[in-house]
Amino acid sequence: MLQRRKNLSHKQRREQMMLKRAVKRGDISPPPPLKPDRRVRKPRRAKNSQPVDPTVRRLESSFVKLPKHFLKRTDILASQLPLTRPVLPEAAILSDIDKQPPAAADGQPLPELTCIKRPKWRYDMSKNEVEANEQGHFRKWLEQTAAAVDAWCSVEPAPEPAAQQAQPQAQEPEVPKEPEEMPHAPTSFERNLEVWRQV
């Protein structure tokens, strides 16, 4: 730790400078170093270290983590595919309300995303009953939303016609086909009940 600067008179400062110059020239040996500060200090916790109190962690947002193979694949595709501008309306993550919802590969419409609402409660209900009701309601909504997002992410582009697939293979080595579009990535939504209660 740096020592506090002391106020010196002009005479003391001049003597200090003369001593310093003499040590530099080698006329005298340097004075012994000052003793280190012996006070015991508490170690400071780093700003980005995890808090010790578990109640603090309750209000941390949690989102879905994308698998590594998906991130690697999309990185490669992002470097290969041209980015067309303006972005087409069909490429929107959440489609317009007046349009027909996208269909899955088997033709059935995909489940829609909804905003969660607090469940109904009465004044005669205890706090534990209300929280248990909220927890069940949130778990049900989380499962429905996760299923809707998974169904949207698993939509594959239409397969090629059978006529093109039945062509005899040429003698040339098969070149890997360039992908036509990016795969659907899941949307981020809050998965922590405590954070949802604060909203």
pTM tops 0.85, yes or no:
no
Average pLDDT for residues 135-139, to the nearest whole number?
93
Position 129 scores a pLDDT of 95
| Helices assigned H by DSSP within the chain | 10-25, 54-57, 68-80, 127-153, 162-165, 193-198
Distance between CA atoms of residues 156 and 103, nearest Å: 11
Most confident among 13-22, 49-58, 109-118, 181-190 (mean pLDDT): 13-22
Indicate the range of 33-42, 94-103, 115-124 predicted with least confidence: 94-103
For 20-45, write each residue's pLDDT tens digit: 999 998 888 888 877 776 676 676 76
Distance between CA atoms of residues 142 and 136, nearest Å: 10
Where are the domains positioned within the chain? Answer: 111-154+189-199
Binning the chain into helix, strand and coil, the percentages to the nearest 5 are 35, 0, 60
Distance between CA atoms of residues 192 and 138, nearest Å: 9
**Main-chain dihedrals φ then ψ at residue 151, nearest 5 degrees:** -65, -40
Is 145 exposed, middle or buried, given 0-12, 13-18 or 19+ CB atoms closer than 10 A?
A: buried
